[in-house]
Chains A and B, each alone.
Chain A
Amino acid sequence: MIRLIDVYKEYDNGSKALKGVNLRIDDGEFVFLVGPSGSGKSTIVKLITAEESATEGRVIVNGYNLNNIRRWQIPFMRRTLGVVFQDFRLIEKKTVRQNLEFAMRVIGAGRREMDKRIPYVLELVGLGGKADAFPNQLSGGEQQRAAVARALVNNPAMIIADEPTGNLDPARSLEIMTLLERINALGTTMLVVTHERELVNRFSKRVVSIKDGNLAQDVQKGGYQL
């Protein structure tokens, strides 16, 4: 569960990214976070992943109060999250399987656990036959599937997808969004940051709209209204 309570964020250069945002995302939800560039979407993601801290207000992520979290606890908080980036961020010199092993080894997983979990996740994202392929041997859609698999492999409570379809054509974007919806149906909370109006409208999920650092709209089964 995510809770942002009256959160303000002002960067060192004086720009005010968030101006009193209140947001609650319950376990199992699928939420689109939408808004124009510079509206504060990325700041919310960075607050949730503890890459930035709030200037004011409270941020609670999966039971961790990030206002008074200790530095050594941050990695353990992050293990409750899986993050998918617009630019995939796969390690080019590692195969798909090795990319997933890399993510699992980070949290101390053993070989047996990896051999059990990775084939399952790859099958889930439709890359069962591509385990030994390197990222540059995959299409854009497949690379993003691999990135989703990596985010999912440690069985996080929540996946944050930051513009996951930004580098994909409409057909591949639809595939990725369908995949995220399927993962959500299996119980993983999903926060998808996007500004792709058609996709948002097509999936009819909860839509949280951010504009100029304020929460402009929060609609269940809504559409892209900004």
Chain B
Amino acid sequence: MRKRGFNLGYFLSEGFHSIFSHGLMSFAAVCMIVACLIIMGSFSLLAVNADQMLTKEEEKNEFFAYIDESCGEEDISRLTEQVRALPNVASVAFTSKEEAHDAWVESHPGGVELPVNVFRDRLVIHVNSLEQFTDTVTAVTSLSGVADYSAHSELAEGFVLVRHAATILATVLVAILAAVSLFIIANTIRLAAFTRREEIGIMKICGATDSFVRWPFIFEGLILGLAGAVIAFLLQWGIYTAVMNALADSGVLTLFEMVPFTAMWLPVLGMFLLAGALIGTVGSGFAIGRFLRV
């Protein structure tokens, strides 16, 4: 009994040969993989940028707790410590009404002259997570010594909503596109197997093992998947850079700074190659199964 050898050179050469023997279908499969990966990649890059923006906004996120005028220095110190001890509080800083007044004057040069007494002593509170923003505001305002507060809860909730929606949308789209890509690559390999069904029959009757028959098709799928991934990566790079330059030139979205592609090319390439390889091998694995039953 001869051992079942893994002849990599043979499997690769058969895989390449098969790709070119039905070139049009292979081309269509690569195009579909490219299209799917670019759409998946674009949404992922959008999500990365949205996440970065949200993270920046979170870093800036703060609200004010106005301190009751009856509180003395000791009360203020105690209140500060109580706030600091609350969950989700990143930092607490005391600002006196004089400092608040000076800041107002500085930020509104030539504006309305307001007396110092209009302002109140306050705690400037930064939170860790926007998701618990409202709970934190409620906890702070329930403390003794807090007279009032100023917080934009609706903005924080909006940020959280956008992030959740983007995550769900990206996940659903990636799942759908991955399924479409799998279907297309499986059909391409099925066609390749169908055109070679007599060869497969001869191989089987000569004593070929299932894996010997399957490997060339797996490699064919892998090659198509990786080729699609590399092309998609290069196109994605071009598209992303073009969009970034166009936005920069037009002055739109000046508030947001896009993450440069060079800062994330390696994970993007890795993700594309992994997705392409998975789509190619899993798709071809599914497709070849029924042709082995000889």
Contact = CB atoms under 8 A, between A and B. Distances in A.
Interface string A56-94: 000000000000000110011011000100000101000
A89 B1 contact: no
Contacts, number: 54
A106 B2 contact: no
Contacts of A154: 206-207
B202 A78 contact: no
Interface in B162-219: 198-199, 201-210, 212
Interface string B1-43: 1111101001000000000000000000000000000000000
Given A51-B294, A78-B207, A106-B208, A91 B202 contact: yes
What bracket does the count of chain A residues touching chain B fall in?
20 to 34
B202 A107 contact: no
B198 A106 contact: no
A75 B208 contact: yes
Interface string A86-105: 00010100000000001101
A108 B203 contact: no
Given A51-B294, A107-B2, A108-B4, A78 B204 contact: yes
A102 B207 contact: no
Contact of A102 (B4, B5, B202, B209): B202
Contacts of A51: 294
A78 B209 contact: no
Taking each of A71, A89, A91, A107, which has the highest tally of chain B beta carbons within 10 Å of its own beta carbon?
A107
A105 B212 CA distance: 10
A106 B207 contact: yes
A200 B242 CA distance: 79
B110 to A, nearest CB: 86
Taking each of A72, A75, A78, A105, which has the highest tally of chain B beta carbons within 10 Å of its own beta carbon?
A75
A76 B212 contact: no
Contacts of A49: 205
Contacts of B10: 105
Nearest to B294: A51
Contact of A75 (B3, B201, B202, B207): B207
For the complex of A and B, the 3 pairs showing the least CB-CB separation, nearest first, are A79-B207, A78-B207, A106-B208
21 contacts: A51-B294, A71-B210, A72-B209, A75-B204, A75-B208, A75-B209, A78-B205, A78-B206, A79-B206, A83-B205, A89-B198, A89-B201, A91-B198, A102-B199, A102-B203, A103-B206, A107-B206, A108-B5, A108-B7, A109-B2, A154-B207
Interface of B: 1-5, 7, 10, 198-199, 201-210, 212, 294
